[in-house]
Every structure is written in structure tokens, then in C-alpha cells.
Amino acid sequence: MHKTLRRAPVLLAMSAALLAGVLPAHAADPAGNKWQSVLASPLRSDEDRKADEHRKTGEFLSFAEVKPGMKALDVASGGGATATLLAAAVGSKGEVWAQNPKANPKLEQRLGQSTLPNLHAVVADFNDPVPKGTPPLDLITINMSYHDIANTPTDRAAMNKRLYDALKPGGHLVIVDNAAKKGAGLTATKTLHRIDEDTVVDEVTKAGFKVDAKSDYLRAPSDPREKPFFEMNGAPDDKFAVRFVKK
């Protein structure tokens, strides 16, 4: 009985957070090491694993609600770290597409060195990043790159609508990015490589998406958000995570 009473405030706090659509960092991965085998997958590189602590990769997978068999697209995939993580998580019955606006040598090298039959490199413009012939998708991720896309001539309204149309009903778009000061809009995307969370939410919801949840697993309240994340000299940098859903 005493254990139940001690847990009650915690349960009430978590319930309130869930109702508000905000998940505290410690609740992002309630199963603890449920992703241990995925993080240790031989498909991933030593560099990938080295970044896990900083990027809180297990929490990312939990927040994105990744499941075996999913069909997923990673937009602005770069060298493919997130796409490879997703490929390991969705397993052999799932499939992942890694999109870049031009061929990425690091991704090509990664694919050439590993057996990744369920991961496909895709070269496509951001205005239409979904490869032709893909089935309806369960998940789309844009990990640390929405601010970069904002620095290109991309029609983001068209991009977001294309992503919306590519998802199954109930499918998710997960965006994680470097947080700018509230009200900064797009003013810090080039100088600080940060973007205002509210601006991202506004742009994405105009395409039809609804905010499904937010998480603070990468939040760093101590960050004054006045420098690029790569000039923080090891200090925690503030990032936001938003999960959108197609109703």
C-alpha cells in the first residue's frame, strides 16, 4: 500500500503530461533497454554508437513509436545514421528510404559496406522527397534537418503536403531540431542553425497534420540558444521533438 501511495504523485504527473501532449524525458523510453539489440546492431557503425548518448537514440525510437515491419522515410538523411537506425529497428519485414537532394558519399559508402537490403538511398528534391512507387508510409522522420531545408529554395508547404499525402492515416511525422529562441521564426536558421519550434508546428499543421505529442528528452534549459549547437563546447544544447499525426 505504501509503495502505491508513493507512486501516485508520479503517475498523476505522467498522466497530466500525457494529457498535455508533452512527454518528460524519463518517460520517453519506459521500457528502459528495450532498444538494446537495435542499438547494438551490426548494421550500425562505431560512429553511430558513439553518438547515441548525446542524441539519446533509444528515446528517439520510443518517441517515434517505431515498430517492426514499418515502412519509413528519413528526409534529409545525410550520411544515413538515422535511416540505418530505423532499418535496424523495423527489421527484415520493414523498409526504409533515405532521401537526400543529391547523392551522399557517406551514405553510399555505408550501403556498400553493409548488408542493408531493407534500406534504400533516394535522390529526390525536397519539394517532392517521397520516392515514386513507395507504399503508404507508417513513419517519416526529419532529424536535425528542418532548419537546413529552410535554408534552401524549397517550397516547404508543398513538401509538407507531399509528406502528409505519403503517410497512412494514423501515420507519424517526427521532427527533431535545434531550438531557437521563442519568436525567432526563421531568423536563426543560417546563423545559428536553429529554428523556432512554433514556426515548425505552424508550417507542418497547415499541411493537415495534428500535433500528437512533444517530448523534452533533448531539452536543455541551461542553453541560452545564442550559439550554433556545434559551438557549445560540450555544453548541453537545446533541441525540441514533435510527433505529428495524419488523422
- Condensed to tens digits (0 to 9), the pLDDT of residues 104-157 reads 999 999 998 777 899 999 999 999 999 999 999 999 999 999 999 999 999 999
Spatial distance between the Cα atoms of 108 and 169, rounded to a whole number of angstroms: 32
pLDDT of the residue at 114: 72
pLDDT of the residue at 5: 36
| 87's grid cell | 532499418
Q: What is the CA radius of gyration of the chain?
A: 18
- The SS3 of residue 73 is strand
| 2's grid cell | 505504501
Average pLDDT over residues 16-33: 45
Question: What band does 73 get if pLDDT is binned at 50, 70 and 90?
Answer: very high
Average pLDDT over residues 2-30: 41
pLDDT of the residue at 174: 99
pLDDT of the residue at 28: 43
Spatial distance between the Cα atoms of 220 and 236, rounded to a whole number of angstroms: 6
Average pLDDT over residues 79-87: 97
pLDDT at 16 over 60: no
pLDDT, tens digit, 9 for 90 and up, residues 142-177:
999 999 999 999 999 999 999 999 999 999 999 999
pLDDT of the residue at 33: 66
pLDDT of the residue at 92: 94
pLDDT of the residue at 175: 98
Tell me the H-state helices in 70-225: 81-90, 105-113, 146-149, 156-166, 197-205
For residue 182, the tally of other CB atoms under 10 A from its CB is 11
First to last CA, the chain: 41
Beta strands in the chain (DSSP E): 22-23, 71-74, 95-100, 119-123, 137-143, 167-178, 210-215, 239-245
Spatial distance between the Cα atoms of 66 and 191, rounded to a whole number of angstroms: 33
pTM attached to this predicted model: 0.87
Question: What band does 29 get if pLDDT is binned at 50, 70 and 90?
Answer: very low
pLDDT of the residue at 115: 77
Q: Within its chain, how far is the Cα of 86 from the centroid?
A: 10
pLDDT of the residue at 198: 98
pLDDT of the residue at 34: 86
